[in-house]
Amino acid sequence: MAALTPQDIGHFRERLEAERHAIESRIAARNRDIQENVQEESGVGDSGDESLRIYDREDETDANELDMQTLEQVNRAIDRIKAGTYGLSEVSGKPIDGIFSVAMTLLVLNIVIPSSQAVAHAQQPIWASGALASEATVWNALLPLGPHLLTYLMSFLTLGIFWAGQQTQLNYFSRSDHRLTWIHLVFLLAVVFMPFSTALLAQFISFRLPMLIYWLNLFSLGLLLFISLEYASRAGLLSADATKEFVAAGRRRIMVYQLLYAAASLLCVFNTYLAIAVLVLLQLNSVIVPRIGPLNRF
């Protein structure tokens, strides 16, 4: 099982502290705006301007509440790093794979809450006239996050699948050696590259090159697990429980799914969203039951 090194922890802590600073700066800026609006309301002004300032203050307050929730999560992660408990299950206290937990956390840090804008929005019952239509403001603000949310889901599933695949292999290793260790270190290198390839695809989701880079990331993960299984089998590093059938099934599953991932990614020549949708369906087939019939053998 791969553990976090002091360098990994330091890098991740820097990312979290930078995110905390950015969130605190946004909150402080909004608080200043709210205070200025309160002071302006105490003066004499047009009633329309006063209503707009009230709506603006409500939007700023709502945005602060969302940022405060994110800030609480970031502070919690930093506290766990300081306490030396990051990478440990909060339920059992046992180690979890630190590299995967870092990569999965970095995925969600790429999703930034949209900044609030001065849009008039009065609090009223949902059944009031125009109440539902006014909610379109938030919907329009969330629409640009669509590519980030879609690629986040896809990459979270990807990392979960390959984490499970690596853990399955590790459970059947009776021992390790220098070469096998480095095979898995390079595998983890591909894992920590996933947040970058995900962010690139989300930012340029209609372009083919980011799709190609993402597929290469997927391919490298599968290739390295295949190399690991082949090397361990030939070097006599597998336990007695790892039968020939187990090894053959492992090879077959990696090869078949890599071919399917390649075919799905190739659909980007028609439409990148089509390629992503098929990739997500293939990943869901690996995760949930019942699976797609013809693929259930792999």
As a whole number of angstroms, the distance between CA 73 and CA 57 comes to 25
Per-residue pLDDT of the chain (298 residues; tens, 9 = 90+): 445 566 767 777 888 888 888 888 888 888 887 787 766 655 545 554 555 556 566 667 777 777 787 788 788 778 877 777 665 544 334 444 566 666 766 666 666 666 655 455 566 676 677 666 766 677 777 777 777 788 888 888 888 889 888 888 888 888 888 898 889 888 988 888 888 888 888 888 889 999 999 999 999 999 999 999 999 999 888 888 888 888 888 899 899 999 999 999 999 999 999 999 999 888 888 877 555 555 555 5
The encoded tokens of residue 18 equal 């930078």
Q: Which phi and psi angles does 263 have, rounded to 5°?
A: -65, -40
CATH topology of domain 6-134: Four Helix Bundle (Hemerythrin (Met), subunit A) (1.20.120)
- List residues bridging with 238 in a β-sheet: 173
Nearest-CA neighbor of 188 among 2, 6, 10, 15?
Answer: 2
pTM of the predicted structure, to 2 decimals: 0.60
Burial grade of 276 (CB within 10 A; 0-12, 13-18, 19 or more): buried
Nearest-CA neighbor of 86 among 69, 71, 105?
Answer: 105
Q: Write out the residue limits of the CATH 1.20.120.910 domain(s) in the chain.
A: 6-134
| CA 9-222-236 angle, 5° bins | 90
Residues with Cβ within 8 Å of 200's Cβ and at least 6 positions away in sequence, in order, are 210, 213, 214
CA–chain centroid gap for 24, Å, is 22
